[in-house]
Structures are given as structure tokens and as C-alpha cells.
Chains A and B, each alone.
Chain A
Amino acid sequence: MNTSTPVNPSASPRRDQRTGSRINGEYIAPLMLLLLTVLMIFASRLISPALGSWSQMLMIVTLSTFLLLVSFGQGLVILSGGMDLSVASLFMFGGVMSAGAIGADGGNVAYMLPLILLGAAAIGAFSGIGIALLGIPPFIMTMGTGIIVASLALGASGGSTLGASPPLLSALVKGSIAGMPCILVFFILFCLLGIFIQKSTVFGRNLYAIGGSLGAARVSGLPVTSVTIAAYALSGLSAAAGGALLTGYSDGATLRMGDPYLLPSIAAVVVGGSSILGGKGTFVGTIVGCLFLVTLDSVIAATGLSQGWRQIVSGVVITLALLFQSGSDNALAVWLENCAKLFKK
């Protein structure tokens, strides 16, 4: 195992991602969040015995998948030191195009779906070009792109809601292969793919370097421009894929379907231990962040509290979760670190 871990890893401001560290500081936050999520699932049995059941868990995984797809791209962009505010619009783009251009008969899905995803990647790349080549702040560029896409969709559809989801997408979300729910398989495959892209590819490592220090990345000759553009393109693509899947799940697409995913996509990444300034974070953290947020939502929805109280509880739990993971003096963090050390022996 890795011996280069400092005395107190979570105290150091920035750890080297390329040394291939095991359970060190950067996994403490996701671990604690996972613990909290599991605790929440057990506690939810007190509210309603239907919670914590297999079907409930599958529901959480299903709902997490949509958020996870958006958060994956958002995470890559945040890793590079930026932020993508156009994910809501691209999510909607993926959903509305799937419902509108493919529709219920789904005969053209083989070429339409890839085309839609490519289109979304191109829109994402447009943001990336503005940011990397013209030096526009990511906040503004992606917000502008988002407004443009949303407005075009509104104009093209005349504001009406589109129905009909392609059978392939419905099958992917609702069907099962050999007793295994498709969505679970997809969720696991996507988690593995995401971890691989962020942690093990040259592209992923370049993102860490760019987010850690743009100046240093430039000086050392990394392809900063193309990597940045690629990150935004991937973000657009994965957000649109999330929208397409949600269309399969909800049997239709609406123009506002992406809105509830914008802030949670950022929250999932940050709650999962990534730095909003870039250069630090793991996709494992983001996965746990998504599971945490979706579980929290579904548990709170089951409480029957009024809308106001639900939001207050939700905000308090998120804040407590952040407090719970923050700071190296945290008793639980120290305990988990000690456990990790025991495993190393």
C-alpha cells in the first residue's frame, strides 16, 4: 500500500492524485457520506415500513442515475476549475429531442439517439470554446449557452409539452435482463466508466492538472484548450443522456425537466468532497453525493411534512453532512483514518 500518506492527509490542502493513493483523505468524505446515507435509509423505516425495501432502493438507484449522469459531466468541468450552468438546458435538450425526434415508434433510434447526443456534445463544445479560447468566465458562457438552448427549444416547440418516449429508453430504465434490473446494470457500468475516465485516463489527469493550476499546466505544455473543450463537450453529452433516460422513465419530456438537476448536480459533486475551485475530487465521491441527495429527497418526501418544513429539514441535513465531513479535527474522520491505517498493516 501507499506509504507516502502524510500524518494527517485531510489537513494538507491539495493531495497528489497521480500517486494512486488508497483509502486516504480524499475518500474520508465519501465514506462518511455513505455512512450517513445508510443510516438515513435505516432511520427511514421508522417513518414508513415501505422505505428501505428492495423496490425503494431500486427507485433510489433509478433516480440517482439521472442525477449521476448530469453530475459526471459537471464534476469533470468543476475539476478543471470551471462550472457548467447549461446542464439543465442540455438535460432538457436530450429529453425533448428523444421524445420529439424519435418518439414512441422508435424506428430511427439507432441513428437518432447518437445524433442527439452528438448535438449535445457540440453545444457543450461551443461553451468550451468560448471559455478556453475567448477567456469568457465559465459562469457566463455556460449560462448564455443554457439560455440560448432553452429559448430555441421554447420557440421551436411553441411551449407545448411533448409526449411519447422511445421504447428503447423505457426498456433501459424499466426493463430487466435475466432478473437483473437494466437500470442497476447501467448504473454500475456507468459508475465504473466514470471512475475510469476521471481517474485513469490521460484526459482525466490533465483535468486535475488544469484545475490545480492553470498556469502550471500551460507552462508544462499540457493541451489545456482541447482538454477544456472536451470536458464541456462531455458534460453536455452526459447531461443530454440523463435527459433521454428520464424521458424513458417518465414517458415524456417537458421544457422544464432539467431545472431540478442544475443545483443538485453541483451539490452532488461538492458534497462528495470535490473542491469547487478545481483540481481536487473523486468520482466515487460524486456517486455517493448523488445517492445521498436522492435518498434524502425520497425520505423527506415520505414524511408528509409541509413543503416549507421539507426544505428546512433538507437544508439542515445537507449542512450537517457538510459539517460532519469538514475539518481534520473531526473525531469521526480521525477514527476512520485510524481504521484505514489498521487495514494497511
Chain B
Amino acid sequence: MSHLSHGIDTHTAGGLRPKAGRKPLFRGALLAILVYLVMYVLYGLAEPDAFSAYSIANLFNNAAPLALAAAGQTLVILSRGFDLSLAGVISIANVLTAIAPFDGPLGALFSLALSMAAGAVVGAVNGYLVAYRGIQTIAATLGTMIISQGIALLLLPVPGGSVAPFVSDTLTDMLWNTVPVSALIVGFFALLWLGLKNTDTGIAFYAVGADDNAAALSGIPVKWTRCKAFILAGCFYGAAGFMLSAQTATGDPNAGLPFLLLSFAAVALGGTSLSGGHGGAFGSMVGAAVLLLMQKMLFALGVASFYIGFFQGVLLILAIVCGRVINRPRAGGTAR
């Protein structure tokens, strides 16, 4: 995009103006939280058990992998890109945790580190291809996704293996019978993001996504920033794959594929602009929780399993429309 046209785009979409007054970065997450609460009440009405500590822990366990994956995807989307390699990295992390189980807290930590390292390596390749070789993000990450999917298949050709008992039991359990462990882990990554957001690196992500020319002119190392976004995102996907292993307790070389499109939906629900520059990973995490609660709620409300997808699609579109209506009463709508 040329500088001029980009200026017109953001202007007509009202992207820059309301920032000063109404804190758009927070609004997206706020809306997702609101949607979540409404769904939770509906879920609670249909399923009286819903407010028990056990089912709250269950919800967190369910949402943790997608929440971490969506948080990673957000980093790439903020710097204006798409990352398809997410699916491959989650598969690799899941397979690694299943074929090489390390028990005990230290073993779990090692598995987590291993998963995140695998993600970082894939992310570094993405970053190199995108930032230093000028390949379009979706094309580069498609290549690495296919390759990492293949590596996962080499490591474990058919679903199987078993995750270390500590990982599958303790990480899905509750601390003192009240606090879900998975919530703590997701919370840790959310804090990590909130810390990162205000560092130079975090600000650089936003700047590069909003306008990479302006970012370059103001002294931000654009290429390295892009690269960093991919590497960090890879770490998040690795953590997501690790949490998925804890939840399923087994390995599946195709485990990551269902996360691919859902991660984009979670990011959009969380109020992050898919064309970069606006939003945040915290919103995406809530968006992920919304998506998974939506499934549970529809099931609890008695929607036939065949048609759950129908309502899911409708709700997804409605949630975004509501967001638009609330956020921009005056906008005429844009095609992006």
C-alpha cells in the first residue's frame, strides 16, 4: 500500500481518531468479556452445574490451548501478517510432549521449554523468510506449516503415545480445590504479554503494523521486529501445544489443524484488527474462551450436534456486528 492510500484507509475507518478519547485497545477485550459473561449466564441457566469449581476448571482447561495459540497469532497480526505455521507448531509440540514424556514438575518445565523452543525455531524461519526475503506472510507460513506438519508426522506417524502423568494430571487440576492450574498458566502468559506490550518491542509491533514506513523512519528496526513477532508467536504456539497435550494426554500429529481458523476467529472476536496495528493478545485470549464456551453453551441449550456449527457461525458473525455497532456508530462500513 502506498503511504497516501493507507492514510485514507485508516482515516475513513476511523482507526486513529477515537484512540485519544476512548481507549480502543481495551474496548475489544471488554466487549469479548461482556459476550463471555452473557454466554456464561445462558450456559448456567441450562446447566445448573456450570458454576461449580470443577466445571470452571474444565472451561479453563478447554480454552487454554486456543487462548495461547490466539495470543501468539495476535503478535503476528499486530505487525500485519498472518501465521499459518501455528497448526504445524502445535502438532509438533503435542507430539514431542507425547513421545518424550518427562515426569515431575521439572520434567514438565523441560517439556514446555522444548515445545516453546520448537516453536521459536519455526518462528525464526518464518521471520527470516518474511522479513529478510520479502515473502508474503501467508505464503511463507504456509510452507513452514506444511513442513512442520510433516515433521510431526515423522515423529509420530499415527496418533498415540502418552503424556507424562504429572503434565496430564496436575496441569488440568485445581490448586487447593479452587484455582485451576491451567488458569494460572494462561494468566502467566497474559501477564507476560501485558509486560511486553509496554516495552520498546511491544510498541514496535504496533508501529510496524500500523505503518511500517513511518516505523522505519522513526528508527524502529522493522525487519528485526517482524522477525521477533514470529519467534515470540512460535513460543506461544509451543506453549499452546504443550497445554493441549496436558488436556488430551496423548499425541496426535494432526492435533494443530483445528486451531488454524479458530485462532483467527478468536483474534477478531478479541477486537484485534486483522489488518494490523490495533488490538492486543489479552482480547484474543478472551475471544478464544468465548469460542469454546459458545460450543458448550449451544450443547447445553440442547442444539442438535449436527446444527451446532450453524449457530456457531451465526453467533460469530453477530458478535462481530455488535462490536462494530458499539464501537463505531457513525461508520459507513469498510470492506476490510
Contacts and interface: CB of A to CB of B under 8 A. Distances in A.
B310 to A, nearest CB: 4
A316 B136 CA distance: 16
A207 B4 CA distance: 19
A154 B306 contact: yes
A277 interface: yes
Nearest to A229: B335
A136 B143 contact: no
B335 A80 contact: yes
Contacts of A134: 321, 324, 333
Interface residues on A, range: 35 or more
Nearest to B142: A267
B336 A137 contact: yes
A324 B78 CA distance: 28
Contact of A315 (B7, B145, B328): B145
Contacts of A158: 306
B143 A319 contact: yes
Interface in B92-147: 129, 133-140, 142-147
Interface string B176-194: 0000000000000000000
A95 B152 CA distance: 32
B198 interface: no
Contact of B261 (A130, A143, A145): A143
Contacts of A135: 324, 328, 331, 333-335
B268 A137 contact: yes
A107 interface: no
A155 B310 contact: yes
Contacts of A254: none
A132 B336 CA distance: 8
Contacts, number: 196
A154 to B, nearest CB: 5
B9 interface: yes
A164 B152 CA distance: 37
Interface residues on B, range: 35 or more
A312 B150 contact: yes
B176 to A, nearest CB: 39
Nearest to B153: A308
B227 interface: no
Contacts of B324: 134-136
A155 B8 contact: no
B313 interface: yes
Given A135-B334, A140-B316, A151 B135 contact: no
A159 B306 contact: yes
B143 A214 contact: no
Given A131-B335, A143-B316, A315 B8 contact: no
B232 interface: no
A127 to B, nearest CB: 10
A166 B28 CA distance: 49
B313 A145 contact: yes
A151 B8 contact: no
Interface stretch (A41-49, A110-118, A170-178, A215-223): A215-223
Contact of B139 (A14, A146, A155, A270): A270
Interface in B1-48: 1-2, 4-9, 11-12
B137 A154 contact: no
Contacts of B9: 213-215
Given A155-B310, A308-B157, 19 more contacts: A134-B321, A135-B328, A143-B265, A143-B313, A144-B314, A147-B309, A150-B309, A151-B310, A213-B8, A214-B9, A218-B12, A224-B335, A276-B82, A279-B1, A308-B151, A311-B150, A315-B144, A315-B145, A318-B142
Ranked nearest first, the 6 interchain pairs of A and B with the lowest CB-CB distance are: A151-B309, A215-B8, A311-B150, A213-B5, A308-B153, A315-B146
Interface of A: 13-14, 80-82, 85, 130-141, 143-148, 150-152, 154-155, 158-159, 210, 212-216, 218-219, 224, 228, 263, 266-267, 270-271, 275-277, 279, 306-316, 318-319, 322-323, 326-327
Interface of B: 1-2, 4-9, 11-12, 82, 84, 129, 133-140, 142-155, 157, 253, 261, 264-265, 268, 273-274, 304, 306-310, 312-314, 316-317, 320-321, 324, 328, 331, 333-336
